[in-house]
Amino acid sequence: MRLTFSIQRYNPETDVHPHEEDYRLEVGRGTTVLDVLIRIKNEQDGTLACRYSCRSAICGSCAMEINGSEKLACRTSVRKELERHGRINIAPLRNLPVIKDLVVDMSSFWGKVRGVTPWISETSDVATDPRSGEMALRPGSYQFHNVDACIMCGACVAACTTHEVSKGFLGPAALAKADRFLSDPRESPAAKHARLSELEKDDGIWDCVRCNFCVQVCPKDVKPMEAIIRLRRAAIASGLTASGGARHITGFADIIEHHGRLNEALMPLKIVRFNLKRMLGVIPLGIRMLLKGKVPNPFGRPLPGIVQVRSIFAAARLGSPQAGRRRLAKVP
Ligand code: SF4
Ligand code: SF4
Ligand code: FES
């Protein structure tokens, strides 16, 4: 079939703005978007710039925006794109500077990956294999949750809503990489704590808004957002609870445990705490919400059944579903 491919072109040396160019090509079944780009480059327009290497979804070089979503060109079927969208539009990855056409500048991406210390900075005193005394990764001694499958394609960073508005955000790929090292049993607890202390700062784990786009676009099922959630849990478990994000979670849980439901009027107090300036900023909003009946009385009585709610929290702290069931069974 003969199809039209619309490709975003931009040469910073000659163009003021990016523009679309259409190419018509005869393609057969099984053709990928990368096949098309290589053919256009070889047969029609040698000036088209795109990046690729393995052609097998391994190297991560060919990530780009195809019909509005971040994908690897080498594993994107032209036929399927046509069936879903009725057209083929190709553009460079969003939110990264364009060098030329479909090639983006990945230096900020790599800088952030380096920024999370993607190596074991200090080994543990305890051997991972007590029998041999070796510091080796044995099957069953670690759980990387598939984050080690990342091919560093950058698709998740291009799709990230936080990165779109805050270019300093470490981003899903770098944070997933950090989670891989946090899960490595060979790294010492002190090094893990230092790692988490860095990650909980501004532009780190608490800046993710959990939009899930990184999970949707990742071609390797890395699920970076879930890695970020693991890092958050680990940070709180390590006692790193001073950041606004951590206080939001601990405050939320605290209110539910004591009142049986969320009380929005108390949330700012939990997050802002003794910061008088910020507190004065949220008090008028809290009063307006209270007057309009949007929040329960902060000084009201807990909900009926609060005993059961507190038992659930107690069971969760014990970490055992059986213990939880036993405790709940005792609740009158
Ligand atoms: S879930 Fe978080 S890291 Fe993933 S794309 Fe959304 S904001 Fe970015
Ligand atoms: S997490 Fe997935 S989308 Fe992000 S760089 Fe790694 S492989 Fe690509
Ligand atoms: S060319 Fe290597 S992942 Fe597509």
Average pLDDT over all residues of the chain: 90
Nearest CA to ligand 1 atom 5: 160
The answer, yes or no, to whether residue 282 has pLDDT greater than 90, is no
Are the beta carbons of 313 and 253 closer than 8 angstroms? yes
Nearest CA to ligand 1 atom 4: 214
* Residue 128, ligand 3, Cβ within 6 A: no
Give me the CATH number covering residue 206.
1.10.1060.10
In the sheet where 69-72 sits, what is the strand order? 19-26, 2-9, 88-91, 63-66, 69-72
pLDDT of 320 reads 53
* Residue 38, ligand 3, Cβ within 6 A: no
Give me the CATH number covering residue 41.
3.10.20.30
The answer, yes or no, to whether residue 278 has pLDDT greater than 90, is no
- Which has the minimum average pLDDT: 59-63, 68-72, 136-140, 208-212? 136-140
- In this structure, are 98 and 112 located in the same domain? no
The answer, yes or no, to whether residue 69 has pLDDT greater than 90, is yes
Distance, CA 202 to ligand 1 centroid (Å)?
A: 15
Selection from 190, 153, 193, 189 nearest residue 173 by Cα: 153
How many CA atoms, within 13 angstroms, populate the side-chain half-sphere of residue 232?
21
Distance, CA 73 to ligand 3 centroid (Å)?
A: 7
Which of 103, 133, 155 is at the close of a domain?
Answer: 103
Distance, CA 232 to ligand 2 centroid (Å)?
A: 19
The answer, yes or no, to whether residue 266 has pLDDT greater than 90, is no
The answer, yes or no, to whether residue 299 has pLDDT greater than 80, is no
Which of 103, 119, 140 is at the close of a domain?
Answer: 103
pLDDT of 61 reads 98
- In this structure, are 119 and 227 located in the same domain? yes
Tens-digit pLDDT profile for residues 244-256: 899 999 999 999 9
- In this structure, are 322 and 253 located in the same domain? yes
pTM for the full model?
0.88
What range defines the domain where residue 37 resides? 2-103
Structure tokens belonging to residue 86: 């009725």
**Which one-letter amino acid corresponds to residue 44?**
Q
pLDDT of 332 reads 40
- In this structure, are 161 and 253 located in the same domain? no
The answer, yes or no, to whether residue 329 has pLDDT greater than 50, is no
Mean pLDDT, range 232-246, rounded to an integer: 93
- In this structure, are 158 and 262 located in the same domain? no
- In this structure, are 137 and 22 located in the same domain? no
- In this structure, are 119 and 219 located in the same domain? yes
User: What residues line ligand 1, using a CB cutoff of 6 Å?
Assistant: 159-162, 172, 208-214, 224-225, 228
pLDDT of 125 reads 79
Of residues 76 and 298, more confidence is placed in 76
* Residue 57, ligand 3, Cβ within 6 A: yes
- In this structure, are 37 and 138 located in the same domain? no
- In this structure, are 115 and 233 located in the same domain? yes
Q: What angle do CA 95, 212, 19 make, to 5 degrees?
A: 30
- In this structure, are 282 and 305 located in the same domain? yes
- In this structure, are 293 and 263 located in the same domain? yes
Residue from 218, 221, 226 to probe ligand 2 pocket by mutation (most atoms less than 8 Å from CB): 218
- Which has the minimum average pLDDT: 56-60, 112-116, 243-247, 318-322? 318-322
Total number of domains in the chain = 3
Tens-digit pLDDT profile for residues 166-197: 999 999 999 999 999 999 989 999 999 999 99
Which of 189, 214, 237 is at the close of a domain?
Answer: 237
- In this structure, are 180 and 298 located in the same domain? no
